[in-house]
Amino acid sequence: MSTTPRLPSAVPDKPANLGTLFAHQPQTAAAFSHLYGTFWSHGTLDHPSKEAARLRNARITDCGY
């Protein structure tokens, strides 16, 4: 698997990362950010449980991001 982004940044002079790649699709980026922000700031699940799930997901998928 590639360890560097396979697509170029959409933001001039900025390296390719999740944010600058998402800039290729600003409407989708906005929808994702709205959902993701709400997920972390609202809901009935406690924060430690959310973080534990996030870390476990990242470990299983070997996501260094």
Partner 1 sequence: MSATEAPPNWPNEPLAAILVQTARQAAPGRTAAIVTIRVAQILGADDVLALHDPALRTAVCEWNTHPDISDAERAVLAVTEQFVIDVHGLDDDTFTALQQHYSTTDTMAIMVHLAVSDGFTKRQIMFPTLTFDTQGGQ
Contact footprint for partner 1 (CB under 8 A): 1-2, 6-8, 10, 21-22, 24-25, 27-28, 31-32, 34-35, 38-39, 42-44, 61-62
Task: State in angstroms the smallest separation of the CB of 25 from partner 1.
Answer: 5
In angstroms, the Cα distances linking 60 to 23, 36, 63 are 27, 20, 8
- For the bound state, the minimum distance from the C-beta of residue 9 to partner 1, rounded and expressed in Å, comes to 10
Nearest-approach distance from CB 36 to partner 1, in angstroms: 9
- Nearer CB in complex with partner 1: 38/51: 38
Beta-sheet strands, E only, within the chain: none
